[in-house]
Structure formats: structure tokens, C-alpha cells
Amino acid sequence: MLNIKSKTKLFAILITTALFITCGNTSLLAQPHGMGPMNGKGPGAKLKFDDEQKAALKKLGEEHREKMKTLRDDNQKLHDELFGLLKESQPDQTKADSLISLIAENRKKMDTAMFNHLNDIKNLCKTDEQLKLFGEFVDDFGKMHGPPMMEPPPPPQDK
């Protein structure tokens, strides 16, 4: 049976892994370095947006990227501080618990920002076809950005 200290460490590792996987892969929404709507493969193209919708989407994307960058930077600082505690001979468990709570709060902010951004994109849709395509877009997005599936390693192969 795991003790509280082991559970806390496991929780921190799981949160960190989930954040690295989730935050590192936002290719459906943004092209790196402000290169535009992914060479015609971004949400505007997938949802068959007109020029007006694409302009509004671009503005939303810029705002979203800035917000997410701030949250990711905050997340990195919190993780650096958390794992820095492990360098101490006797890590302060109370401080670790506090940092883990702050990381969880930050994760909630990131998920809320992502949900709100997707809802803003949905609100740009004007036609039934665009709303249908948005549903497909969200399905694809959910597959890429859902919680990581932690599968056990395969059993050893007997030869």
C-alpha cells in the first residue's frame, strides 16, 4: 500500500506528464512562430470559414496563444520550484503540497482557457455545415489533447 508521501510523488509525476503531453501538442489550433493558419489546414480551413470569420479567428488565436504562453510559463516556474525541492536533504512536504495545488489550479486555468477558446471558435460558425464540421474538429481535437493514456508495458516475451 502506498503511503501519503508516495502518493504525492506519484500525483506530481502524473500531473507533470499530463502537462508535458497536453501543452506540447497544440497543432490543431496554432502554427508556431505566427506563420498563420497552418498552410490551409487550421480550423478556419477545416470549418470552411469565410474571410471575415478567418480574420476573427486569427485575432482569437493571437489572444489565446498569449494567454496560454503565460500559463505555460507559470506552469514551468511552479514545476521548477517543486522539483527543486528534491535537491534538499529533507524536502519540505508542506511546500510540495502547496506547489502541487498551485500546479493543479494552473492546469484548471489552462483547461478553462482552452474550452473557452474552442467555444469562441464555435461561436464564429454561421452555417449548419460549419457547426457539423466543428463537431468533427472537436472530436479530432479531443483525441489529440485528451488525458494521456498510461498503459502498462507489455509483458516480457518468452523466447
For 67-79, what is each residue's pLDDT tens digit?
A: 999 999 999 999 9
Task: Please name the amino acid found at residue 82.
Answer: L
Q: Which domains does the chain have, with CATH numbers?
A: 47-145 (1.20.120)
Contacts 24+ apart (CB under 8 A), 99-106: 100/8, 100/11, 100/12, 100/15, 102/78, 103/12, 103/15, 103/19, 103/75, 103/78, 103/79, 104/15, 106/71, 106/74, 106/75, 106/78
Q: What pLDDT is recorded for position 22?
A: 46
Q: What is the pTM of this model?
A: 0.66
Cell 490551409: give the residue.
Answer: 40
Segments of the chain with pLDDT less than 70: 1-41, 146-152, 158-159
**Could you report the per-residue pLDDT of 132-142, keeping only the tens digit for each?**
999 998 888 77
